[in-house]
Structure 1
């Protein structure tokens, strides 16, 4: 993911349709418009490529026993923590706040957690604590 982080950021910040409809016509941006989505899909597919088994003395070693990757927005991350790191970096989000949101709301609501972190990107630490407390209370009541 580190190697392809710039290409993966294309898929975070753009959709294929947005790129096609963009008015990037100059030489530099025209090239980006033509190749950006392709670069994203190649990087995404390389990251999502399944590994192969490793054998030692004829015995398969499975280092991912009982570990399912975290899937979000067409990407398979090795863990939800890795997805949090990726989105926090590329969307300039508060890593701790995003992680706390996922802890409170759960992995199944990861997209909602990202939107909440974006809405509160410039919020004070006090406001973020208040939001987390309200969400914890709502989750407790449900």
Structure 2
């Protein structure tokens, strides 16, 4: 049975924010694998939102919020690209960059979750479950190399 897209998004937000919080600390021994795990969760999540969630939210009168969300995704992708080329051996610099990414994602999540009540009013539970299925399908189409 399909899961409500809002429930999926909230769960994934919590998971990614938890990893980002850990990555924003110094002295992490498995930083590289944790960073890879975070990207493997975050990048498909953003793609799934853009392909399966935002078009429906846009049609339900949330146009400005959708446009802002896409720009926030673009900013996080740019920051991740910069972090990919930074050396983890300079922990102070790497952690500082990660903190900026964490702050951007926290801001995005806060604003996105503020429109969830409107989404619950705008869509039936069946619509939200169908969106959940489309979201999961879109995430699965993100190539591993892009993560």
Pair in the same fold by TM > 0.5: no
Give the number of the structure whose residues are more often strand, by fraction: 1
**TM-score, normalised on structure 2?**
0.31
* Bigger relative contact order (CA 8 A; separation at least 6): 2
**TM-score, normalised on structure 1?**
0.32
